[in-house]
Amino acid sequence: MPTKLTFTLHGIADTREVFLNGEPLMPGRSIKVMNHSPDGFNWGYGGSGPAQLALAIMLELVGHGNGYQDFKWSVISYLPQNKDFSKSITYTFPDADPDGRFQERH
């Protein structure tokens, strides 16, 4: 069943640091699943940095990345490019893929 969540996201453009619900979000966990951007997160367009950010947010909030490209295009690409932002976001995340794609491997 899809999961509807509200969360806060804050980004600092100069350092590309991102805070999810007030806590620093690091790319390491998402890079283990899919390495889009070894340079880290970004937002405001549809490239590799925003894909890494979308995947990291989904892994943190729902434990999988199924649909992270849709989340990137629906939310992350609309954040202000090259600018700081602070936003409360409500989004309905899909269920995990039954094949286990885009999940952490242990």
Per-residue pLDDT of the chain (106 residues; tens, 9 = 90+): 889 999 999 999 999 999 999 999 999 999 999 999 988 999 999 999 999 999 999 999 999 999 999 999 999 999 999 999 999 999 999 987 666 555 555 4
DSSP state of 79: S
Which positions ≥6 away from 78 have C-beta within 8 Å? 44
Q: Which residue has the tokens 């899909």?
A: 94
Give the SS3 label for residue 33.
helix
State CA 42 to chain mean position distance: 10
Listed as own residue / partner, the contacts of 44-49 with beta carbons closer than 8 Å and 24 or more positions apart are: 44/76, 44/77, 44/78, 44/79, 44/80, 44/81, 44/82, 44/83, 45/77, 45/81, 46/72, 46/73, 46/77, 49/16
